[in-house]
Amino acid sequence: MENTQIKQKRKTRKEKINRGIILIDIHNHILWGLDDAPNDVEESLKMLKTAQKNGIKKIVATSHYIEGSYQPDSKEIKRKILELRKIKDEKNIDIEIFQGLEVFLSVDILEYLNQNKLLTINNSKYLLIEFPFLNIPLNSDKIIYQIMKKGLRPIIAHPERTETIINDASTLIPFIDMGCLTQVNAGSITGYFGERIKKTALELIERDMVYTIASDSHNSHERKPNLSEAYIKIEKLKGKEYVKKLKKTAEIIIDDEDAEYIEPKITKKKSILEKFFSK
């Protein structure tokens, strides 16, 4: 009986937080057979059904693009999106699906752009990129500058999972000041990736260094398309208006509008003595 009441309470909170706002997931590995996500279209369909239950109305299919590992052809991506759209319409799943990629940052990214191999989010100016998990490469700022010279605006995917940023969140600020947007994973906020990453995600939110969140979903069970739980936690931390802003930015991205710069909060690092006495 108690478990039923808890589930009903959570459901009511999700409905409240989603009321009147279209939930958009700009980072989702929903296409099958292209990267480390679904193996078949049946799993992709399950992900759509899970997303629908969560209140998500729009999904950007952002398969990995990593040299030597996953380099899906743009024509194949578009073909699979059309196929998935047809299937979800037949199943009465009310979710729109858009094209995109999650591109691993490397010097080759500029050549791939010149060859028209990379897809931006819904044909917009926004290109989803990811840093290596261990560190931010030394030449990243130069590569991003060249990307922006082409009229594109990078969105840094899950910066909270990069070790450099985990150790010092301020290392992300120069990229925000350049004009990059940032996208934190919903699972990072709920603790799916562990306490260190959760702590970093919450710090980035507290310091106004997050533009939007997304699921980065890879399947329908463990890494599923779920945004509501993260939004509930963020609302407790920053309030309703902040949550609305995060959701609005996802809409701005998909509609190819201009996202305004948000000035990050600078925090002074505590000295060893300050850390000692704070305990």
pLDDT class of 245 with cuts at 50, 70, 90: very high
In contact, 75 and 38? CB cutoff 8 Å: no
Angle, nearest 10°, between helix axes 240-254 and 228-238?
130
Residues 89-116, mean pLDDT to the nearest whole number: 97
Residue whose token pair is 């997931």: 25
Tokens encoding 11:
């459901």
pLDDT class of 191 with cuts at 50, 70, 90: very high
Please report, for residues 131, 170, 175, 192, 269, the alpha-carbon distance to residue 167 in angstroms, rounded to integers and kept in the order given. Answer: 15, 9, 16, 19, 12
Lowest mean pLDDT of 98-102, 124-128, 184-188, 266-270, name the range. Answer: 266-270
Of 149, 109, 151, 111, the closest CA to residue 129 belongs to 109
| Residue 228 to residue 198: CA distance in whole angstroms | 16
Provide the domain count of the chain.
1
Instruction: Flag whether pLDDT at 277 surpasses 70.
Output: no
| Residue 177 to residue 213: CA distance in whole angstroms | 19
Give the per-residue pLDDT at 270.
47
Strands 56-65 and 23-28: parallel
Q: What is the CATH number of the domain that holds 160?
A: 3.20.20.140
Residue whose token pair is 């305990």: 279
Residue 214 bridge partners (DSSP): 185
Percent of the chain at pLDDT above 90? 86
pTM of the model: 0.89
Lowest mean pLDDT of 7-16, 164-173, 199-208, 225-234, name the range. Answer: 7-16
Range of the domain at 86: 2-278
Give the per-residue pLDDT at 272.
42
pLDDT class of 266 with cuts at 50, 70, 90: confident
Residues of the chain by 3-state class (helix, strand, coil), percent to 5: 50, 15, 35
CA 174, 62, 111, 132 torsion-angle sign: positive
List the 56-65 sheet strands across, edge first. 23-28, 56-65, 96-104, 126-130, 153-157, 181-185, 212-214
Give the per-residue pLDDT at 267.
76
Give the per-residue pLDDT at 231.
97
